[in-house]
Amino acid sequence: MLGLTRKDFQLLLIVIGLTMFAPFLLNPFPETSALAQFNAGYPDLLQRFVIFSIFAIGFNILFGLTGYLSFGHAAFIGIGSYAGVWMMKLLTMNIIPAILVSILVAALVSLIIGYVSLRRSGIYFSILTLAFAQMCYALAYSVLTPITGGETGLQLRLNDPRILGESVTEAGNIPVPHLFGLETRDSLELALGNWVFTFNAGYYIAAVAMILAFYLAIRLFRSPFGIMLRAVKSNQQRMSYTGLNPKPYTLAAFVISGMYAGLAGGLMVAMDPLAGAERMLWTASGEVVLMTILGGAGTLIGPVLGAGVIKYFESIFSTINRTVLEGWFAFLPDGLENVVISMIYPFVGKGWHLTLGIMFMLVVIFLPGGLVEGGQRLGRLFRRRGKRDAAEGDPVKPAE
């Protein structure tokens, strides 16, 4: 089906199901519950889940298949964002041209950076990509201010010379990004008892893009090209001895990975037409590395899981402040309440990075294959337990 094996097709169906029903799955607690703090089914966070999943899937094509670790991949998501906003300023508020231009511009820049960086390997390659990303950040922040908006970022204005469509609405406002008339901010709310589920048009547009990106990643992983990339990771020198030049394959992987980042950048401005230099900081590049390793580098669904976990921690745990904790533990005696809050508070709110760091450390030590390996271990454990229970339940046959 769709050129996929049965196992890969089932994995694709799982991703489609999780993505389409995410507004339900990520809102398990009623609005009136104290645990509603942990709900993640609101549009802004859902959009970040799928957009950063695309970013991580693309990065995994480079790092997971070839073993080349880039510390500057955020440059392409930033460049894609700038290209998308300029497309909205100059041409139309329809998000399709903005996304396409974001992908193409990111591909061109990644071709140039990859051609230079891939002349080296190992830590030297990583440092080169980091240097290029910091150069892009510096250019966007200061030198190219007329193009990038500098510190304030690039955003839409009422006097933008938009060729197709209106520059100003009848109400005197800036037009909203749309997909052939369907505005990305349009939402439909469904109230079921104490639960409120929000279905956002922008999220589902980004979700469809993520599903397509995931499908293309599966096809690439299973293709002869993907096998060649694994050969590069396994033993590049031995590959050269067979007469095959690994450079075109690694450069192609770098460009494809950059295009995925450009797609993520284009979707970001489709949801919120603003581009800033902070998207190209080295910390953003490090974040996608964490996503891929945490979920499982070299696996198909691992980057998606890693992106979801990190964005959940960033959005949910970072909002748990002392006031929230005091509300949770108000039933405790005053002295015990203060002790419990003092123990938990360093790991939430502004300290959520500490919790993420501990979790990442535990995963690297005990689950080198990431969350995917953890799921596989649990699956094997339950299968063994099921077989053992079945064997114990079989009646003993008398000897003849």
Count of structural domains, the chain: 1
35 versus 232: which is more confidently predicted? Answer: 232
For residue 96, pLDDT over 90 is answered with yes
The predicted model gives 167-185 an average pLDDT of 88
Q: Is residue 362 part of a domain?
A: no
Q: Is residue 158 part of a domain?
A: yes
Q: Is residue 202 part of a domain?
A: yes
Residues of the domain holding 246: 6-27+37-281
Place of tokens 């950076």: 113
Q: Is residue 1 part of a domain?
A: no
The predicted model gives 81-103 an average pLDDT of 95
Instruction: Please give the pLDDT value at position 393.
Output: 66
For residue 289, pLDDT over 60 is answered with yes
* pLDDT tens digit sequence for 294-349: 999 999 999 999 999 999 888 888 888 888 888 888 888 888 888 888 888 888 88
Q: Is residue 400 part of a domain?
A: no
Q: Is residue 242 part of a domain?
A: yes
Between CA 257 and CA 335 the distance in angstroms is: 53
Lowest-pLDDT choice from 72-76, 202-206, 325-329: 325-329
Q: Residue 390 — very low, low, confident or very high, per pLDDT cuts 50/70/90?
A: confident
Q: Is residue 332 part of a domain?
A: no
C-beta of residue 295 within 8 angstroms of C-beta of residue 305: yes
Between CA 45 and CA 203 the distance in angstroms is: 9
Name the residue among 288, 313, 299 with its Cα closest to residue 372.
299
Mean pLDDT, the chain, as a whole number? 90
Q: Which residues pair with 274 in a beta bridge?
A: 155
Q: Is residue 324 part of a domain?
A: no
Q: Residue 166 — very low, low, confident or very high, per pLDDT cuts 50/70/90?
A: confident
Name the residue among 308, 28, 16 with its Cα closest to residue 196.
28
Q: Residue 398 — very low, low, confident or very high, per pLDDT cuts 50/70/90?
A: low
Between helix 302-316 and helix 352-366 the angle, nearest 10°, is 150
